[in-house]
Amino acid sequence: MKPEIINVSLTRKLNDLSYPIFVGNNLLSQSKNIIKQFVYDRKVILIHDNFFSEKENSNHNFVDFVKTIKNLSKSINLIGISGGDKTKNISQLNLILEKSLSFEISRDSLIIAFGGGVVGDIAGFASSILLRGLDYIQIPTTLLSQVDSSVGGKTGINSSQSKNMIGSFHQPIAVIADINMLTTLPRREFLAGMVEIIKYGLIKDVSFFEYLEKNHEEILNLDQLKLKNIICMSCKIKSLIVKKDEKENGERALLNLGHTFGHAIESFGKYDGTIIHGEAVSIGICLAFKLSNKLGFCSQIETTRVINLLKILKLPTSLKDISISITTSKMLDKFKYDKKNKNNQLTFILNERIGKSFIKNNMDISVLKKFLDEEI
Ligand SMILES: NC(=O)c1ccc[n+]([C@@H]2O[C@H](COP(=O)([O-])OP(=O)(O)OC[C@H]3O[C@@H](n4cnc5c(N)ncnc54)[C@H](O)[C@@H]3O)[C@@H](O)[C@H]2O)c1
């Protein structure tokens, strides 16, 4: 299967920017041709998920990839961190920064993030502030990171208040999404990634949503061609949105469908694995559709159709599906930290129908309160 290359092109006032996303099978075990243009003769810091290691009996894609970089680069140093959102914090960031500096990096050094969204977000953020900004490459190894977090340049960490409160916009110079990496991914993590894929259909493309409805069984059975299709389709939708609105001044906020509720739910889980990002967003999407329906924007039939697809995938679809203590007042309190808010007014992403999301500013708190009282 030939790799597909999707270009992310950003038009900026001073410096236009473009970078490739490579999507395909076995890209890492034969990565030399792809990677050499980026790493040749540079000092490389490889920040990787501890799921991968250099031991010979570890994931051979990782072992092969490290060997390739050793051959092509000036030098390579590895920093291993644990996956999971508990790791995405300021003390872990500090360790990465100090360790990277101890390797005597310079402005032409390169960071490579090898792991899921957690490694990608924290390593990307470290790259944006080390020596005031280093190049970095994303090698996403979870479905979620291949279709979402590795693309678009949002980097960051969680604060004790809420998700992703500290961060930067810093675009990678390349993304390499190797579908083969997904064979070791636990089913729960795979399903969490499906949520962000479904999200693209819900925001922008009803025919993509229909494709997912029709083909979900083959996708769950890791049909390589269908997997490649949905990863490419997701990256294309995201890159078109990011192209128009890199810093989220408008349309990019649509990618937040389900995330205002989702981030709040996730933070109540204290990032201990009780609920993971995609699961929280799954509930968040259902709440966003139910709220859209309640406010008269979206029909009951469309709302039920969305909830049904997530239910078929055995994802949580209601606050009643999870065993985390949440109250309406705690939830409303969390919404204050949402980055979409302006002038202390809450903003939500709602839907007119499947394939058409919109930004709803100045959300009425009393309506939200009544809605949440019924849902919790
Ligand atoms: N920057 C963005 O635009 C953006 C977008 C969406 C989500 N996110 C962030 O992404 C994070 C979630 O990403 P995630 O779901 O990839 O989580 P993750 O990085 O925690 O990975 C999930 C789990 O899978 C393991 N893992 C990784 N690759 C594996 C593989 N190939 N085989 C087996 N196990 C593997 C990890 O060790 C971890 O336990 C959240 O912090 C979320 O906020 C960021």
Which of 145, 162, 184 corresponds to the end of one domain? 184
What digits encode the pLDDT tens for the residues 136-149? 999 999 999 999 99
Q: Is the dihedral of CA 64, 69, 71, 77 positive or negative?
A: negative
Q: Residue holding tokens 């990256």? A: 235
Q: What is the number of domains present in the chain?
A: 2
Q: Which atom of ligand 1 lies nearest, measured to the CA of 50?
A: 37
> Which tokens is 325 given?
């203590």
pLDDT at 324: 93
Residues 98-109 have a mean pLDDT of: 97
Residue 269 near ligand 1, beta carbon < 6 Å: no
Do 151 and 207 fall into the same domain?
no
Q: Which of 91, 70, 74 is nearest to 82 (CA)?
A: 91
Tens digits of per-residue pLDDT, 181-208? 999 999 999 999 999 999 999 999 999 9
Question: What does the alpha-carbon distance between residue 346 and residue 336 come to, in Å, rounded to a whole number?
Answer: 7
Q: Residues with Cβ < 8 Å from 195, sequence gap 6 or more?
A: 144, 258, 278, 279, 281, 282, 285, 310, 315
Do 170 and 92 share a structural domain? yes
Residues 320, 291, single domain; the answer is: yes
Query: Are 116 and 205 in the same domain?
Result: no
What's 104's domain CATH number? 3.40.50.1970
The CA-atom distances, in angstroms, between 335 and each of 73, 157, 161, 301, 346 are 45, 18, 11, 28, 7
231 Cα to the center of ligand 1, angstroms: 15
Q: Are 13 and 51 members of one domain?
A: yes
Of the listed 170, 204, 228, 238, which one is catalytic? 238
Give yes or no: residues 230 and 318 share one domain.
yes
Q: Facing residues of 174 across strands?
A: 137
Domain end, chosen from 184, 204, 231, is at 184
Same domain, 174 and 201: no
Residues 72, 15 share a domain: yes
Whether 51 is in the pocket of ligand 1, judged by its Cβ within 6 Å, is yes
Q: Beta 348-353 vs 166-169: how paired, if at all?
A: unpaired
Taking Cα atoms as reference points, which of 244, 275, 231 lies closest to residue 253?
Answer: 244
pLDDT tens, residue by residue, 309-323:
999 999 999 999 999
* 1 pLDDT higher than 80: no
Same domain, 248 and 344: yes
Q: Do 80 and 119 lie in a common domain?
A: yes
222: domain CATH number is 1.20.1090.10
Atom in ligand 1 nearest the alpha carbon of residue 263: 43
Residues 119 and 198 in one domain: no
| 113 and 192 within one domain | no
The last residue of a domain, from among 168, 184, 200 = 184
- Could you list the residue range(s) of the whole structural domain that residue 93 is in? 4-184
